[in-house]
Structure 1
Amino acid sequence: MPAGADLKVPGALPFITPNRVFYRVDTALVVPRVDTTDWQLRIHGDGVRRPLVLSLDDLLARPMVERDITLTCVSNEVGGPYAGNARWLGVRLADLLREAGVRPPSQGGPADQLVARSVDGMTIGTPVETVLDGREALLAVGMNGEPLPFEHGFPVRMVVPGLYGYVSACKWLRELRLTTFDAYDAYWVRRSWAARAPVKTQSRIDTPRAYAAPAAGRLPVAGVAWAQHRGIARVEVRVDGGAWQEARLGAEDGVDTWRQWVWPWDATPGRHTLEVRATDGTGAVQVERRSPPAPDGATGWHRIEVDVRAG
């Protein structure tokens, strides 16, 4: 992690989210406890010329990479808590698919959807083109220097930067099947969520908290912004609908992680509204219009109110 990625602002979250507080959103009423002695991963389906069946020992014997990647849940409201940044250890998914003979649709492959299936039957569909476009899509076995916790998918889960979790981050993985979006609808798509869901640019104010009552004076306004696989180029803050002020960004730890930001505010007594917006690495500014999470992710600027006390 580069120096300065974590700005260490009092009241703000750390750059790396500890496992114990990393958000969890899934359908498992009981967390699966997988016996690794007979666990296997099967890779098969349309365009797979060499089907693979791997034990956990087979997977662990392969070259591993460690990457910092921010995950985001599509159900996250603007300013919500369902985003976290972790250091993932795993095997490159693209390497396994190419070993199985899989080609993306742009190279003539017949399958455009990779359906991941959990040990409890949950299905998640991911665009094949995305997995094979060079990003660090992983079959993760470790999280923040520890074996993958049970609640986060032990023994193996998928992590694909740039896509919301419901189309990319299958936990307790046991099967990868190549098919098409026309032929199969995964679990959430059958419930009216979008089949393809790239992460939307978002920013969030973490300190001060909404409806806080800080004392007047110099006050750090800080938070995080994310646009996985595009990166964050700028974050701006404004007070009471005034002019936008550019915040200072933490160092970039790759385009697949969030960036911390901070802006010093000379707060005056009274009630004030703070807003934040981000610009991603392509130059696109975060969408202002507020929309709900369904069907493919919320939009809107995060806005909070605070009551500043006289010093």
Structure 2
Amino acid sequence: MALLVAGFVRPEAFPVLAVADATVDLSPQPVVDFAKETLGFYDKPVLVGGVLVVLAGVAAAIGVLSTRRLAYGFAGLGVFGVVGVLAVVTRPDSTGVLDALPTLAGVAAGAWMLSWLVRRAAGEPGTQTSAATAHGTHAADATAPGAQAAAGTAPGAQAAAGSAPGAQAADATPHGTTAAGRDAFDRRRLLTGVAGGVAVAGASALLGWQIGDRRTVSAARVRLALPKPATPAKPIPVAADFRISGLSPFITKNQDFYRIDTALIVPQVDPNQWTLRIHGMVDRPIELTYADLLKMPLTEADVTLTCVSNEVGGDLVGNARWLGVRMAQVLRQAGLQANADMLLSTSADGFTCGTPVDVVMDGRDALFAVAMNGEALPVDHGFPVRQVVPGLYGYVSATKWVVDIKVTRFDRDEAYWTPRGWSAKGPIKTQSRIDVPKPQDSLKSGRTTIAGVAWAQHTGIDAVEVRVDNGEWRQARLAEVPGPDTWRQWSLDWDATPGRHTIQVRATDAAGHTQTEQPAPPAPDGATGWHTLTVQVT
């Protein structure tokens, strides 16, 4: 019921997601880092699933309490409600009291279902024995165990709780309920009631998601007609993509582009309601609408984005063609003050990001992007507007759903990840990755291809070297690139001999810096080391 009502109010007001968000904010940083490194893309589904498991366990306890006195169950649901309301209304993007409605509706529906199943578990009126009724035991208090399923627990929990009927009866009826009174419990009626409740809950949840989807901005996004760029990107060279099977293509498709952010539910921002506020250490605070932004000259640029959480050889990196307004142009309208060195950007869901001013203003294609690979930004990737800044890890540059820019200083403000132990500034480190072959592949002896990608955004890749079994480093062939802000494909032919072999790669950027062999984890400012894998040749 909560999800159904959230579909009409706001999908973000679903209490399970709000509680999961609060869990992330309150968790110790080592726990958050462990989840990110271990679970990767699946951290959010696992977190939401964990919240649901905890809720099911607490619901079982509420059901047990309800077998003793229904008021105890209602009190437990009340605690659920308080936690849910607090989690929802304290979200950064909360719209206030209205966001509490899904939680309140869920608690009300749960209370009604709890009462109904407890009565149903006790059987039809008159089935209790005289021994039970003569002492004034209420049907809700004298039910046999299993009524805890009223709180929505799985049948297995009910069965487990019902394994000691004598103990339950002794607690519920101190004056002594007879065996016949205990046998009045109707398991079939309880199980059919639970099954019906699960079916209704599932149907309402599905309907809630569908209603929420219809109320999202997807339709508005599809209807958008984007202006042509005033400054088009350079044509992508034909030789930019070797088209080797298993090698990452030069352009990453939108649906394949990695997604890392703190949003458990993707913000739905109507472009007609979107505004970007720029304030703080500026001469003229300004506020732009989406229409204002589209009227400005648009720039097209090929830029590779990388997450600071990416392990050596990891896949949290992708390359796309972006369209947007230069951030420097917008900031000049506001008039940056001389001693400002940080842009504290805020997304629609409250996430904050700190970007160095000098990087944005040095002439690179730092954009307030509105399109990705020829179409309006996907909702998952920041629609209607996000930041794209070449040369910086995403956590300090790539704010999605951006709605606010505070011009400030690093010694005055902190962004979301900085107090959690990550570096305040995140320049991207030169990296290379082997895509072909895969780790532990079994290869046939003879001529084979080793290939991958390397990146050093806004510096460019000048060389890639490969070695096998700690032998001599060999220069790989490099693909062409349209500029220094994208990754670069590389390949090398290898005469593979039978046996087990170790392959390593390292890159050198255009500034002459070669990747260090010294391994380091992603925290606090990006992983280092040479990507190394082992294959078997037969």
Question: Which range, TM-score by smaller chain?
Answer: over 0.9
| CA distance, structure 2, for counterparts of residue 23 and residue 17 of structure 1 | 9
Q: What is the Cα-based RMSD across aligned positions, in Å?
A: 0.7
Partner in structure 1 of residue 263 of structure 2: 28
Report the Cα offset of residue 275 of structure 1: 0.2
Partner in structure 2 of residue 57 of structure 1: 291
| CA distance, structure 2, for counterparts of residue 3 and residue 287 of structure 1 | 32
Report the Cα offset of residue 70 of structure 1: 0.3
| CA distance, structure 1, for counterparts of residue 525 and residue 468 of structure 2 | 29
Partner in structure 1 of residue 304 of structure 2: 70
Map 1:119-268 → 2, pairs under 5 A: 119-268=348-497
Partner in structure 1 of residue 507 of structure 2: 278
| CA distance, structure 2, for counterparts of residue 11 and residue 179 of structure 1 | 45
| CA distance, structure 1, for counterparts of residue 270 and residue 363 of structure 2 | 32
Report the Cα offset of residue 10 of structure 1: 1.6
Partner in structure 2 of residue 93 of structure 1: 327
Report the Cα offset of residue 72 of structure 1: 0.3
The 3-state SS of whatever aligns with 1:218 is strand
| CA distance, structure 2, for counterparts of residue 305 and residue 256 of structure 1 | 30
- 4+ aligned runs moved over 2 Å, structure 1: none
The 3-state SS of whatever aligns with 2:255 is helix
Matched, 1:15 2:250: yes
The 3-state SS of whatever aligns with 1:96 is helix
- Unpaired runs of 5+ in structure 2? 1-235
CA displacement 1:249-301 (0-9 Å, x = unmatched): 00022110000000001111111000000000001111110000000000000
Map 1:105-124 → 2, pairs under 5 A: 109-124=338-353
The 3-state SS of whatever aligns with 2:448 is strand
CA displacement 1:173-207 (0-9 Å, x = unmatched): 00011001010110000101000110000000000
| CA distance, structure 1, for counterparts of residue 494 and residue 445 of structure 2 | 10
Residue identity opposite 1:207 in structure 2: V
Residue identity opposite 1:279 in structure 2: T
| CA distance, structure 2, for counterparts of residue 3 and residue 288 of structure 1 | 33
| CA distance, structure 1, for counterparts of residue 477 and residue 354 of structure 2 | 37
Number of corresponding residues: 303
Residue identity opposite 2:442 in structure 1: A
Residue identity opposite 1:60 in structure 2: L
- Identify the match of residue 43 of structure 1 among 278, 284, 289: 278
Partner in structure 2 of residue 106 of structure 1: none
| CA distance, structure 1, for counterparts of residue 291 and residue 446 of structure 2 | 58
| CA distance, structure 2, for counterparts of residue 130 and residue 116 of structure 1 | 15
| CA distance, structure 1, for counterparts of residue 298 and residue 272 of structure 2 | 21
| CA distance, structure 2, for counterparts of residue 42 and residue 121 of structure 1 | 14
| CA distance, structure 2, for counterparts of residue 182 and residue 63 of structure 1 | 34
The 3-state SS of whatever aligns with 2:359 is helix
Partner in structure 1 of residue 313 of structure 2: 79
| CA distance, structure 2, for counterparts of residue 43 and residue 23 of structure 1 | 29
- Unpaired runs of 5+ in structure 1? 104-108
Partner in structure 1 of residue 531 of structure 2: 302
Report the Cα offset of residue 3 of structure 1: 2.1
The 3-state SS of whatever aligns with 2:443 is coil
Report the Cα offset of residue 54 of structure 1: 0.6
- Identify the match of residue 3 of structure 1 among 218, 234, 238: 238
Q: Percent identity?
A: 60
Report the Cα offset of residue 21 of structure 1: 0.7
| CA distance, structure 2, for counterparts of residue 300 and residue 251 of structure 1 | 25
Report the Cα offset of residue 134 of structure 1: 1.0
| CA distance, structure 2, for counterparts of residue 274 and residue 151 of structure 1 | 36
Bigger CA drift: 35-44 or 234-243? 35-44
Report the Cα offset of residue 118 of structure 1: 0.3
The structure with more radius of gyration: 2
| CA distance, structure 2, for counterparts of residue 197 and residue 265 of structure 1 | 36
| CA distance, structure 1, for counterparts of residue 241 and residue 267 of structure 2 | 34
Bigger relative contact order (CA 8 A; separation at least 6): 1
CA displacement 1:150-184 (0-9 Å, x = unmatched): 00000000000000000000000000110010101
| CA distance, structure 2, for counterparts of residue 154 and residue 10 of structure 1 | 32
The 3-state SS of whatever aligns with 1:85 is strand
